[in-house]
A and B are shown apart, each in its own frame.
Chain A
Amino acid sequence: MIEAKHIYKSFDDKEVLHDISTVFEDGKTNLIIGQSGAGKTVLMRTLVGLLTPTKGDVLYDGRNFYGMSKKEQIMMRREMGMIFQGAALFDSLTVLENVRFPLDMFSNMTYRERNTRAMECLERVNLKGAESKYPGEISGGMQKRVAIARAVVMNPKYLFCDEPNSGLDPKTSLVIDDLLSGITKEYNTTTIINTHDMNSVMGIGENIIFIADGRKEWQGNKDTVISSHNKKLNDLVFASDLFKKVKEVELEGERKE
Chain B
Amino acid sequence: MLIFKWLTTFGKYLQLMGRTFSRPERMRMFGKKYIKEMSQLGVDSIGIVLLISFFIGAVICIQIKLNIQSPWMPHWVSGYVTREIMLLEFSSSIMCLILSGKVGSNIASELGTMRVTQQIDALEIMGVNSASYLILPKIAGLMTIMPFLVIFSSATGILGAYATSFLAHIISVEDLTAGIQHDFNPWFMYMSIIKSLFFAFIIASVSSFMGYTVKGGSVEVGKASTDAVVCSSVLILFSDVFLTQLLS
Chain A: residues with CB nearer than 8 A to chain B?
48, 50, 74-78, 80-82, 84-86, 88-91, 101-102, 104-106, 160
Contacts and interface: CB of A to CB of B under 8 A. Distances in A.
User: Interface size bucket, B side?
Assistant: 10 to 19
A43 to B, nearest CB: 15
Nearest to B125: A82
A77 B118 contact: no
Contacts of A75: 127
A84 B118 contact: yes
Contact of B122 (A74, A82, A104, A106): A82
Contacts of A82: 122, 125
B121 interface: yes
B218 to A, nearest CB: 13
B119 to A, nearest CB: 5
Nearest to A48: B125
Contact of A78 (B29, B117, B118, B127): B127
B126 A50 contact: no
Contacts of B26: 104-106
B127 A86 contact: no
A105 B128 contact: yes
21 contacts: A50-B121, A76-B127, A77-B126, A78-B127, A80-B125, A84-B122, A86-B118, A88-B118, A88-B121, A88-B122, A89-B119, A90-B122, A104-B26, A104-B28, A104-B29, A105-B26, A105-B29, A105-B126, A105-B128, A106-B26, A106-B126
A74 B125 contact: no
Contacts of A80: 125
Given A104-B26, A105-B25, A50 B124 contact: yes
Contacts of B128: 105
